[in-house]
Structure 1
Amino acid sequence: MGAKYDPARIRLANYPFALTMQPRFGDMDSLGHVNNVAIAALFEEARIAMNRALLGANHGGLPHERRPLPVVAARVEIDYLGEVAYPGTYEVGVGIGRLGNTSILQVCGLFEGETCLALCDTVIVHRSENGPAPVPERVRGVLASMSFPASAQVPAGSGA
């Protein structure tokens, strides 16, 4: 059975943003591995870090309103490719997989060195009081600069 993900996803260099992270002792399961919920939290923290780095502390909301851009996570999908151990230091790569009219697909990979241990796709929906609303142009422009893959170059011998 072949991989159901794009092979470009398992290369940290393809992600335009990366955050170094360390799981906590309390993140371990009974087998001594970092548990699935903690891995989801690492992905969430990295996504938020990218959003804050790009859009500011209020995630692109209007500064005078002092409230974040109104978004909600509509879907989170995680593929576990290897075991994540405690203690350890990991890199979480983040990029924008797709910008829709009202939604944003953020793609992430969790790496130990060059080895990808997990992948995460999260669909974020921009909201108004009446439901989904178009992503503001100023936010779209900033997020577009973080498209995945970070480089459109195809490695030699990849067959693409």
Structure 2
Amino acid sequence: MGAKLDPARTRLANYPFVLTMQPRFGDMDSLGHVNNVAIAALFEEARVAMNRAVLGASHVALPQERRPLPVVVARVEIDYLREVRYPGSYQVAVGVGRIGTSSIQQVCGLFEDEICLALCDAVLVHRGPTGPVPVPEPVRGLLTTMAFPAQVPATTT
């Protein structure tokens, strides 16, 4: 994310996809906070949900060679801005920050009542049988509909 926080990232309305989630009791640490690993899992689940919504519900169930976007996660960076407590209901928001030749940057925010609690950047690399390959144009077009900042109201699930 860099040394300076982008204020646009802390606004829920800027994300094109929003998933409401509840952490589990087992996600809590001894201080009553949702632990860092559980927060990373919330971000992961929301990224997968957005990809399934855009690329088809069977996207992750298909064999690797038949998926429209076979990817590996190359990098994840999380900034924890405020405490996340159990129990609670949170909105995990996702958008596509950038599409490179063979990579996709997904930007995410974790929100409670419009207050940003954490931000996440993930870089996914599109893979072929022998390594990175260009993101196919049809997939690129679909992912572009989820660009951050959102141009239309968020899709909430």
Q: Same fold (TM over 0.5)?
A: yes
Question: What letter corresponds to residue 12 of structure 1 in structure 2?
Answer: L
In structure 1, stretches of 5+ residues that fail to align are 153-160
* Partner residue, 1:78: 78
* Partner residue, 1:51: 51
Q: 1:98 to 1:138 in 2, by over 3 A?
A: same
User: Could you tell me how far 1:68 is from its partner in structure 2?
Assistant: 6.2
Secondary structure at the residue paired with 1:79?
A: strand
Question: What letter corresponds to residue 135 of structure 2 in structure 1?
Answer: V
Contact persistence 2:18–2:91 (CA under 8 A)? yes
Q: How does 1:142-157 map to 2 (within 5 A)?
A: 142-151=142-151
User: Could you tell me how far 1:4 is from its partner in structure 2?
Assistant: 1.8
* Partner residue, 1:126: 126
Question: For this pair of structures, how many residues does the alignment match?
Answer: 149
* Partner residue, 2:138: 138
Question: What letter corresponds to residue 92 of structure 1 in structure 2?
Answer: V
Question: What letter corresponds to residue 47 of structure 1 in structure 2?
Answer: R
User: Could you tell me how far 1:19 is from its partner in structure 2?
Assistant: 0.3
Q: 1:96 to 1:78 in 2, by over 3 A?
A: same
Question: What letter corresponds to residue 43 of structure 1 in structure 2?
Answer: F
Q: Is 2:83 the partner of 1:89?
A: no
* Partner residue, 1:14: 14
Question: What is the distance in 2 between the residues matched to 1:52 and 1:76?
Answer: 19
Q: What CA RMSD, in Å, does the superposition of the two structures yield over aligned residues?
A: 2.0
Contact persistence 1:58–1:69 (CA under 8 A)? no
In structure 2, stretches of 5+ residues that fail to align are 153-157
Question: What is the distance in 2 between the residues matched to 1:61 and 1:32?
Answer: 35
Superimposed CA distance per residue, residues 49-75 of structure 1 (whole angstroms, 9 cap, x where no aligned partner)? 000011013439989x65463100000
Question: What is the distance in 2 between the residues matched to 1:61 and 1:50?
Answer: 15
Question: What letter corresponds to residue 55 of structure 1 in structure 2?
Answer: L
TM-score, normalization: structure 1?
0.87
Question: What is the distance in 2 between the residues matched to 1:143 and 1:116?
Answer: 24
Identity across aligned pairs (percent)? 77
* Partner residue, 2:38: 38
Question: What is the distance in 2 between the residues matched to 1:81 and 1:92?
Answer: 14
Larger displacement relative to structure 2 (53-62 or 32-41): 53-62
User: Could you tell me how far 1:105 is from its partner in structure 2?
Assistant: 0.2
